[in-house]
Homo-oligomer: A and B are copies of this chain.
């Protein structure tokens, strides 16, 4: 990342986040039954960096060589100049993300998300399940509303559907790993690919599909998304340990409490740390800040924190290399910067 890019990237992220937020308001209004739609919008309104839809918009710009923010994303010129509503595709990806958060919070019995109560706490279990289910089908509706030629829409829908299946499989592995002490690094990386990275892969590849890019471009962008998505999850695992709860929007160290397997704990276990004893409680509410701090210190001494950091940086470099398939330009630079940001962010 160049010296002056933080400002550039910040501005680029903010501008696109605002467009995505406006689009969510347009496409997901509160309608009857109101409580269902309020619950469906609740997490989306609570914040979020909109990283995935921003990557989708940047990819659309980079694929078509459109000057950033120069085009109407609702009527975005494809490779032949025919308009495609890439903003609806961006909303679709963010809405899938929101659905998975709502259901994951139920499964993990997490109380907080983005600094506010999880949906099943703010509303109730029934409403949270149903809000997630509603967002799920809405995401497919939005992906069908891009106006792209039918052949491309079918490919985009197929990518979205298989992505959702993979997210479920990844979450199932994640839950399964909580009761296993013998998870290998490859298994962890597969789990992270399925649970987290495939949605980044979809965000990067679907605009290329919708806009008529060639297969080589689509495949490279999918690999870019997958690599930076894995890096994002590893960084998330790191932040869970190193960021204060109030900045994190949820309890610091909750992964350790819930016995989540991360690249950090896998490395620590291999290097003789008694990971299961680091945090004796299973209750996120009951854990002391000092317990987490002592645990993090032990993981740092074992080199596990640095190991995970380096793995994330390697993945980001792999992802950025895939961007060579694109013409150089401002949008491609921003896709490189956003990849760096994913592992440099502090919350």
A: residues with CB less than 8 A from B are 32-33, 35-36, 103, 106-107, 125-127, 129-130, 132-134, 136-138, 140-141, 144, 149-151, 153-154, 157-158, 160-165, 168-169, 171-173, 175-176
Task: Indicate if the CB atoms of A106 and B130 lie closer than 8 Å.
Answer: no
Distance in angstroms between the alpha carbons of A33 and B172 in the assembled complex: 7
Apart from A103-B129, A130-B175, 9 more pairs, CB < 8 Å: A33-B176, A35-B172, A133-B168, A137-B168, A140-B161, A140-B164, A150-B150, A150-B153, A154-B157
CB-CB < 8 A to A32: which residues of B? 169
Task: Indicate if the CB atoms of A129 and B158 lie closer than 8 Å.
Answer: no
The answer, among B130, B151, B157, B163, for a CB contact under 8 Å with A144, is: B157
Q: Sorted from nearest, which 6 A-B pairs have the closest CB atoms?
A: A137-B164, A150-B150, A140-B161, A36-B172, A107-B126, A134-B168
CB-CB < 8 A to A163: which residues of B? 137
State the copy count for this chain.
2
Distance in angstroms between the alpha carbons of A130 and B174 in the assembled complex: 12
CB-CB < 8 A to A126: which residues of B? 106-107, 175
The answer, among B35, B132, B136, for a CB contact under 8 Å with A176, is: B35
Task: Indicate if the CB atoms of A136 and B150 lie closer than 8 Å.
Answer: no
Q: Which residue of B lies closest to A173 (CB)?
A: B33
Task: Indicate if the CB atoms of A165 and B141 lie closer than 8 Å.
Answer: yes
Task: Indicate if the CB atoms of A172 and B130 lie closer than 8 Å.
Answer: yes
CB-CB < 8 A to A132: which residues of B? 133
Distance in angstroms between the alpha carbons of A180 and B45 in the assembled complex: 29
Distance in angstroms between the alpha carbons of A127 and B141 in the assembled complex: 26
Task: Indicate if the CB atoms of B164 and A133 lie closer than 8 Å.
Answer: yes
Task: Indicate if the CB atoms of B129 and A129 lie closer than 8 Å.
Answer: yes
CB-CB < 8 A to A141: which residues of B? 158, 161-162, 165
Q: Kindly provide the distance from the CB of A179 to the nearest chain B CB, expressed in whole angstroms.
A: 11
Q: Which residue of B lies closest to A165 (CB)?
A: B137
CB-CB < 8 A to A175: which residues of B? 126-127, 130
CB-CB < 8 A to A150: which residues of B? 149-151, 153-154
Q: Kindly provide the distance from the CB of A193 to the nearest chain B CB, expressed in whole angstroms.
A: 13
Q: Which residue of B lies closest to A126 (CB)?
A: B107
CB-CB < 8 A to A172: which residues of B? 33, 35-36, 127, 130
Q: Which residue of B lies closest to A139 (CB)?
A: B161
CB-CB < 8 A to A106: which residues of B? 125-126, 129
Distance in angstroms between the alpha carbons of A126 and B172 in the assembled complex: 9
Q: Which residue of B lies closest to A153 (CB)?
A: B154
Distance in angstroms between the alpha carbons of A151 and B169 in the assembled complex: 30
The answer, among B36, B125, B129, B144, for a CB contact under 8 Å with A161, is: B144
Task: Indicate if the CB atoms of B103 and A133 lie closer than 8 Å.
Answer: yes
Distance in angstroms between the alpha carbons of A113 and B220 in the assembled complex: 46
Distance in angstroms between the alpha carbons of A290 and B133 in the assembled complex: 38
CB-CB < 8 A to A33: which residues of B? 169, 172-173, 176
Distance in angstroms between the alpha carbons of A274 and B21 in the assembled complex: 49
| A136-B164 CB under 8 A given contacts A33-B176, A144-B154 | yes
Task: List 22 contacting pairs A-B, 8 Å CB cutoff, sorted by A.
Answer: A33-B169, A33-B173, A36-B169, A36-B172, A130-B168, A130-B171, A130-B175, A132-B133, A133-B164, A133-B168, A136-B164, A137-B168, A140-B140, A140-B161, A141-B162, A144-B154, A144-B161, A149-B150, A150-B150, A150-B153, A154-B154, A154-B157
